[in-house]
Every structure is written in structure tokens, then in C-alpha cells.
Structure 1
Amino acid sequence: MITRFEELDWQPTPMGDLTLRRRWEPAAGHEIYEVKLGEEYLMSSLFTVAEIALADLGLAVVGGDDLNVLVGGLGLGYTAVAALRDSRVGALAVIDRLDTVIGWHERKLLPVSAELVDDPRTTLVCDDFFEVMRNAPGDDQRAWNAILLDVDHSPRHQLDSTHADLYQAEGLRALDRHLASRGVFALWSDDPPDADFMVQLDQVFDDTAAHVVDFANPVTEGMSSNTVYVGRSRR
């Protein structure tokens, strides 16, 4: 018998109750994993194309080898694992504000958890990504060749209002201090390309682009799309 719904974990957090569940999705014909914060759906393993594209599109424009990569937002782990599949990546750190999410992967509750945590290149860090970016990098910190961010729904729709400053030119300049020379910043968004955000991005980065990532949606039996923004440091 197929289990229609199984709650794998539930934890209270400062942002609300966080739930990880596994359920059967009839439209897809297989089990999927979902994360909810309160009554809001954060992510689903039914839709991972754009999360993977965030890593692929960001790293595609990074030159060199032995890359030092930072992922902001662990989630179900698909962006981080996609980055690890690039053989040029020498080290990968993932920052997530919620130790509960890190614990899910350390307990290997999710489909890609083992691939993520068993890779010696991986470091999982419980911290506030946005606060880390606001602060100047430490003298002993190696600069990042790529920073891949997937936390908020979009630059306009944040999970926490304290994140808003990063999506303005001043916040993007603070983030740029953490990038290596000609390093790349890439951002996932659930919304269509945002002209106002592109203005902010263009003030700080070169070679900016808003990639529309289309994918099949078995629930609507149509197509859906996300956006991946990419920019290269001018330094």
C-alpha cells in the first residue's frame, strides 16, 4: 500500500513551524518531498529543474579550477548537489539559518542528502546568510568564486523583511566583497524577470542576465517557469 502522506519531521523555529513531509503525488506518479513554513509551501521535490539550473548557469560562467563555492539556502539540497557535480568545484559551503534543515540532511532524510553530506568537499554551516554578507569578509577567509542564493521567493517577495537590503545596490556591493576576482553571483527567483531588480544588479555586476527556466508542471499539465539571475564581479 502506498502511503499518501507521511510527516518526517516538525520543528518550531523563530520564523514559524517548519514541516518536512513525504507524500504520493498522483499527477507525477511518484513520491515527493515538501517543506512548509507555517501554512506556506517553501519547496517541493516535484520542481527541481530551476534549483539545479541555478548551479549550472552560475558555474557555467566561472573560469578556472579548484572553485570555492558558497550556496545560500540548503533546502532540499538540489542546488548544492548540482554544484558538487561540477568537477571543478574544490570546496562547497552551504549556509542555512535553520539548523533543523541541516539536521534533515545529516540524518539523510532527503533523496540527495547522502550525496551531499558524504562528499568531503561539503561543509554545512548554520548561520544567517544575509548577515554574513553584510559583514566584511575575515582576513583568513578565502574568497568565493561563486555565490548561489536560493532563500527568498524573489527579490520582491522575501521570507523575512530583513533580507530586503541585499536586493538593492548597496546590499549587492556588500555581497560582492565576498567574491573572488571575476567571481559570479547567481540568484533563484520564483517570479518572472524583474526590470527593477536588474537595474540594481547592473549597478554592481558585469555580464548580467535574467535566464527564464521553463519546466513541465505535472499538476497543471502545462509549463511553469522560474528565473535565474547571473552577474559577474567587476573586480
Structure 2
Amino acid sequence: MGEISLRRRYDPEVRAEVYEVKLDEDFLMSSLFTVAERELSHLGLARVASGGDLEVIVGGLGLGYTALAALEDPRVRDLTVIEYSEAVIDWHERDLLPDTVGLAADERVHLACADFFAAAMSDEGFDPERHGRAFDAILLDIDHSPSRVLHSPHAEFYTAAGMRAMAAHLKPEGVFAIWSDDPPEPEFMTVLMEVFTGVQAKRVWFDNPYTQGRSSNTVYTAIRA
């Protein structure tokens, strides 16, 4: 997909060090804007009805905010983070990111270097040692949005067929949640409603120091019937 890099710089606009992930020249995420990444976990796990011992998948490690927010839920017993890039996993194992120091060492966390999309649409699923293992929640933050993907093969995942294949790896009443950089997309809502129940799309607003205004991301949540 390209060269992934971690950049640390001092930003005079906010008078603080900023950590950014880029894919070639495409900005993927910044430590300045993490509200929606954390809300992905909070909103997704809030819809899980199970009382405890949750087994959770996070698709995409990035700067680690989604995974760290998931660990705030005391019900989470096992958190598997599927990350395509060995380099990104190495950043966390070396604790290069101050806000998420210790994430990789948490006994509840397993960092797996794998292709989330291939695993999601396979019969085997996310655990090569336990084929067909089901999870309480799948939280996804990789592409810019369902219609703006980082790599063209990802597009198949966002179809009804892709959603059905992924849903097979959720427990009954398990939750799928996904982050998007764009406003809610009616077309993707329709796809989700073909496969899931209780489909919701919530705009998450946050202050933007560069525009001196507010910006938003979207978190979709849906429940396996």
C-alpha cells in the first residue's frame, strides 16, 4: 500500500509535540485528533449486552487510542489488535508513543500482524489457532471511510457479502463498530441494515485548532441478530 511512517514534530499552532502516521504522503492519523478514535471503542462496547469477559477485535493499531480506550471497559478480558504493518507493532513494543506507553505489555492485549480484511472475510477468522472463534465486538479503524479506502481490495469488505462474512465471526448480539472520516453515508447504512439490526451512525464532534472551529467523524454501530 505504500511506505508507512511515524512522525514527531513540534506544532507552534498548539504549542505541543504532535505524533502523526502517514502512508506515503497521505495522513492517516494524528495525536491531535483522537476523540473519535476513542469514541469508536466507547460507543461500540456500550452496545455489547454481555456482562463480562469480553473478547474484542480491534482492526488497525495506529497510534493505539482505540485499543487503549477499549481497555478502559472493565469487562474486556481479551483484546486482539489486527495490524497489517510490522513497523506499527514495533512502535508500540518500543513504547515510542507517550500516550499509549504500556499498551503492548498489557496482559489482556495480543498484537497480531495480519490482514484484517482477509481474516474478516475468511472462514477461519481472526484466530489461526481457533478457527471460527467468535468475538463480542469488532472495532474497525483502518480506511478513511467505507467509500474512501486505502487499498482498492478493501472495497469488497464494505459490501453486503463482506459484512455477512465478517458478522459470522461475531457472537449472537455481538457488535460491529467502525470509524469514518466522512459524514454518515446512506449507501453504507443500507448495506449494514441488510446484515445487522440496530444500525446507528453518530457524528462525533471535536475542536479543531487549525480551523478555529469544530470538525467531526462518524462512528457506525450495528448488532448481529
TM-score range, shorter chain: over 0.9
The reply to whether residue 34 of structure 1 matches residue 25 of structure 2 is no
Aligned length: 220
User: 2:90 — aligned with what?
Assistant: 103
Q: Aligned-pair distance for 1:140?
A: 4.8
Q: Which protein is richer in strand relative to its size?
A: 1
Q: How does 1:197-212 map to 2 (within 5 A)?
A: 197-212=188-203
Counterpart Cα distance in 2 of 1:208 and 1:188: 14
Counterpart amino acid of residue 43 in structure 1: M
Partner of 2:163: 172
Instruction: Say whether the 8 Å CA contact 1:137–1:177 is kept in structure 2.
Output: no
Equivalent residues in 2 for 1:27-106, closer than 5 Å: 27-64=13-50, 65-106=52-93
Alignment correspondent of 1:154: 145
Tell me how far apart the structure 2 counterparts of residues 20 and 202 of structure 1 sit (CA, whole Å): 37
Rounded to whole Å, the distance in 1 between the matches of 2:139 and 2:181 is 15
Aligned counterpart for 2:223 among listed residues 198, 211, 232: 232
What are the Cα deviations for residues 112-151 of structure 1, in whole angstroms up to 9, with x where unaligned?
Answer: 3323112100000000000001111365553110000000
Aligned-pair distance for 1:111? 2.1
> Which amino acid in 1 is paired with 2:178?
L
| Runs of at least 5 residues in structure 1 that lack an aligned partner in the other structure | 1-14
- What is the CA-CA distance between 1:26 and the residue it aligns to? 2.0
Q: Secondary structure at the match of 2:103?
A: helix
- Rounded to whole Å, the distance in 2 between the matches of 1:172 and 1:90 is 25
Q: Which runs of 5+ in 2 are unaligned?
A: none
- Report the TM-score when normalising by structure 2: 0.95
Question: After TM superposition, which residue ranges in structure 1, 4 or more long, deviate above 3 angstroms?
Answer: 137-142
Give deviations 1:182-216, integer Å, cap 9, x for gaps: 00000000000000000000000000000000000
Q: TM-score, normalised by structure 1?
A: 0.91
Aligned to 1:4: none
Looking at structure 1, the residues matched to 179 and 102 of structure 2 have their Cα atoms a distance apart, in angstroms, of 22
Instruction: Give the conservation status (yes or no) of the 8 Å contact 2:123–2:132.
Output: no
- Percent of counterpart pairs with the same letter? 55
In 2, Cα distance between equivalents of 1:29 and 1:109: 20
